[in-house]
Amino acid sequence: MAAKLKKGDQVVVLAGKDKGKKGAITRVMPQQNKAVVEGINVAIRHTKQSQTAQGGRIPQAMPIDLSNLSLLDANGKATRVGFRVEADQKVRFAKTTGEAI
C-alpha cells in the first residue's frame, strides 16, 4: 500500500498527550506503523558523555502511531489523504480541498 504520510509532511496530532499540536515528520517507520514528529511525544533520555556528544538529560522525540496523525491541508486543517492518477502518475491529494499534495 502506498504511504499516506511521508517525511517532511506537516501533520497534526489527533490523540494522546500532544493532541492538537502540529509539526513536521522527520522519520517514517512503515514496518512499525509509526513516525517521528519534531517536538511531539518528547521524552527525556539520560545519555552518557562521549568524545563527540555532550552527556546529560537530552530531550528526544519518540515515535508516534500513524493512526494518531493527520495531514494538514492548505487551510491548516486536518485532512484525510486520497490517491488519484494524473497524467499517468499516481499523486496524493487532500480530501478536504481536493488539491494535490
CA dihedral 1, 33, 65, 83 (to 10 degrees): -10
Pairwise CA distance, residues 71 & 11, whole Å: 4
Q: The whole model's pTM is what?
A: 0.84
So where are the chain's domains? 10-49+56-74
pLDDT tens digits for range 16-64: 999 999 999 999 999 999 999 999 999 999 999 999 999 999 999 999 9
Cβ-contact 38, 61 below 8 angstroms: yes
Is domain 10-49+56-74 annotated with CATH 2.30.30.30?
yes
Question: What spatial distance separates the first Cα and last Cα of the chain, rounded to whole Å?
Answer: 18
